[in-house]
Structure 1
Amino acid sequence: MRTLDRYIFREVTLTWIAVTAVLLVILLSNQLARVLSQAAANDFPRGVVLSLIALTSAGYLTVIVPIGFFLAIMLALGRLYHESEMTAIQSCGVGPAGLFRPIAILGAIIAALLVWLSFWAIPEAMARARSIRMEALQEAQFGALEPGRFRTFGGGNIVFYAERVDDQGILHNVNIFVDRTQEEAGHAGKGAGAPADGGRMEVWVADRAEQRGVGQAEQTFVLFDGERYEGVPGSGEFRIMRFAEGGIPLRMAAPGGASRKAEMKPTRELLQSHSAEDRAELQWRMSTPLLALILMLLAVPLSRLRPRQSRFGRIGIAILVYFVYSQLLAAARTWVESDVAPRFAGLWWVHAIALCVSLWLLVRENPPGRTRTAAVTA
């Protein structure tokens, strides 16, 4: 590359690294608070917390990298304008279009990075984070029970208590309280017998019990030599059953449904899918590198400053442009997911508008008939 190209490439690259790092730290602080709150509520171990922070933060890169690149070009070229270096560059015949050579090289590298992140790395990281979170939740909720403490399951519908546990892991003097209110509400109106003054309650009392399937999505409390009291509180009607062995199955539902979200699906699976949600996710992944490249085209004409104007004078405009661009993309994605927008339009109309605006600004700042001299070379 020419000396000028290397100079601009270095300035933009260093600024991009600095801006991206700052934005990443800001978003990491928000993600850290969210993961720590979830970990405290569910007693996640420290290793799980660190893994979740690392994996979930990777999803921010597709947002941070394009805006960081956009602001880096604005700041780097703004400094050249502010310190009159751009005047010297333009006196050598290098216009706004001539600045694209070094910036386009960095843009190609960043676009390739975004393709790898969007199509492969981030979906795999999100799926892995979901798996770790599920395992941690199962271990926290369905882990080994401690004697002398009440534990709740099923959203508080089941309360478990054991007086002590022996060396073989057998629980002694066990009490389990089961609230069937939700089940009764679901069956209300389907026939006579549904209680009008409350749901059915069960109380299990046993001499000893075992916990089977610890750490799995489904486990069972197996009780031995006990009694079961069943009835409606306040009605005075209870049924008492004695048993030699009884079991209470517990299952933890997967968050967000059993099926994976589109963000976690591999790209090859999205290519074979015909659902609107998967189609929107695929177009969103394609849009990420396009977003970075079109923002690069917008940044060069937008970074031009008037004499004695502050080098940060156009940053507000840059943030507004990115906000409008990203919000239009988000709205278009929602329309594709809802199958409202025409399939041929997808998210592409947003990129087409931004591309036309950027080309118009470039032509306005650098008319085709302008005389150019040879640029400064090494």
Structure 2
Amino acid sequence: MTLIERYIFRVAGAAFLATVGVLTAVIWLTQALHDLDLITSKGQSALKFLTITGMWIPSLFMVIAPIALFIAVMFSLNKLNGDSELVVTAASGLSPLGLLRPYLALIVAVAGLCALVSLWIMPSSFQVMRDAWTEVKSDFLTRIVRPGQFNTLESGLVFHYRDRGPGGELRGVFMLDRRDSNELSVYLAENGIIAKIDGKSYIVLQTGTIQKQDKGAVPAMVTFDSYALDLSNFGSKLYGGPLKPRERSTWDLLNYDVSDPYTRDNIGRFRADLHERFVSPLYALAMGLIAFAALGTPRTTRQTRGLAIGGATLIAVLLRVGGFGVAGALARGPDAVPFAYALPLLGMVGAGLYAFRSALVPLLRGGRFVPAEAR
């Protein structure tokens, strides 16, 4: 990069970091307030609170980064033009392509970071969040729940134990699960203990019965000597049951098992999440190029740029809203897959054509365009 290109890159890069930092902090704080009960009612430490809420940051970054890049490119170009620096650089021979180079370096860097977050960091963060919530539920049962009381762990799930024995053993365990309106389950056991098996937290019940009744069916009862319940199934439905598509690695989504009942019932969500991971970085490229196309041409201070800013903002909003709409269509059927990739690519191509329209018009008319450096 030349000296002027490095200067432009620093201005745009600083604007991007400031914008993405502020937007992420504001939205993260809003999300963190929803999980404040980790400290107030579940007795967790501040470190656990920050660990769980911090795992939202990669997914927030995926949505915020293209928007922050758009704002940063618009801000830096408007600042450079307001200080007459764009006019001076153009008069000194810097071509539109030369002006694009530092911005393209920033756009590609942000898109690459989005790809890294989307394909690897974000699913890993959701797995960490799921494991952390399972530990919270385990701690809640062993430390917070008081003996002799009926404790509502969540709507429809009641837990009770008579007293606590040596080594944290729970005596006289009772659990009522009616979260599903079509199914009622009652667990009774003489003893229970929280244990980790293969890295997962379980409550192991000993010497008891399970009574189940489906809607309109005859009640059934099963006796057991030992029965292990996965704690990930007893808690927020957001983190219970099988791994959600967003919690699985990209490799797992590329090679999912269609014979698995959960995968078969949620094939649309698997397809949508997989393609969204590959499409998301393209929106960073499109957003950055749209902002450059709108304000990349030098103008005097007497020429208004409000119309260009408003038009670019409207196009960027429509593009991103359209992307969210296509993401919903992906979950409904595979026919939307081409549109998922075509939408950001169309934005990129359209922005590129508009940004270099002054070079393309002579070519279309049969003339020959000569770059400023060669004149």
Higher RCO structure (Cα 8 Å, ≥6 apart): 1
Q: Which moved more, 1:17-26 or 1:103-112?
A: 103-112
Count of matched residue pairs: 337
Is residue 302 of structure 1 aligned with residue 283 of structure 2? no
Supply the AA of the counterpart residue of 1:96. Answer: P
Match of 1:331 in 2: 325
Shift of 1:69: 1.5
Match of 1:268 in 2: 251
Identity of matched residues, %: 22
The TM-score normalised by the length of structure 1 is 0.73
Distance 1:3 1:272, change over 3 A: same
Alpha-carbon distance in structure 1 between the residues aligned to 2:250 and 2:46: 32
Once the two structures are superposed, residues 306-335 of structure 1 have per-residue CA deviations (whole angstroms, 9 ceiling, x without a partner) of 634688886555543332211111111111
Unaligned runs of 5+ in 2: 209-223, 259-266, 363-368
Q: Is the 8 A contact 1:81 1:311 kept in 2?
A: no
Alpha-carbon distance in structure 2 between the residues aligned to 1:201 and 1:109: 55
Is residue 213 of structure 1 aligned with residue 158 of structure 2? no
Match of 1:104 in 2: 104
Structure with the higher helix share, 1 or 2: 2
Match of 1:285 in 2: 277
Distance 1:151 1:349, change over 3 A: same
Q: Is the 8 A contact 2:294 2:312 kept in 1?
A: yes
Distance 1:39 1:306, change over 3 A: farther
Q: Is the 8 A contact 2:42 2:144 kept in 1?
A: no
**Superposed, which structure 2 residues align to 1:1-378 within 5 Å?**
1-37=1-37, 40-141=40-141, 143=143, 145-147=145-147, 149-152=149-152, 155=155, 158=158, 160=160, 162=162, 186=182, 210-213=191-194, 216-220=201-205, 252=231, 253=233, 255-256=237-238, 258-273=241-256, 275-303=267-295, 307-308=301-302, 316-339=310-333, 341-343=335-337, 345-364=338-357, 367-369=360-362, 372-374=371-373
Alpha-carbon distance in structure 2 between the residues aligned to 1:200 and 1:294: 52
Q: Aligned-pair RMSD on alpha carbons?
A: 4.0
Supply the AA of the counterpart residue of 1:64. Answer: I
Unaligned runs of 5+ in 1: 188-198, 224-244
Distance 1:306 1:271, change over 3 A: farther
Shift of 1:101: 1.0
Supply the AA of the counterpart residue of 1:263. Answer: R
Distance 1:69 1:156, change over 3 A: closer
Shift of 1:218: 3.3
Q: Is the 8 A contact 2:175 2:186 kept in 1?
A: yes
The TM-score normalised by the length of structure 2 is 0.74
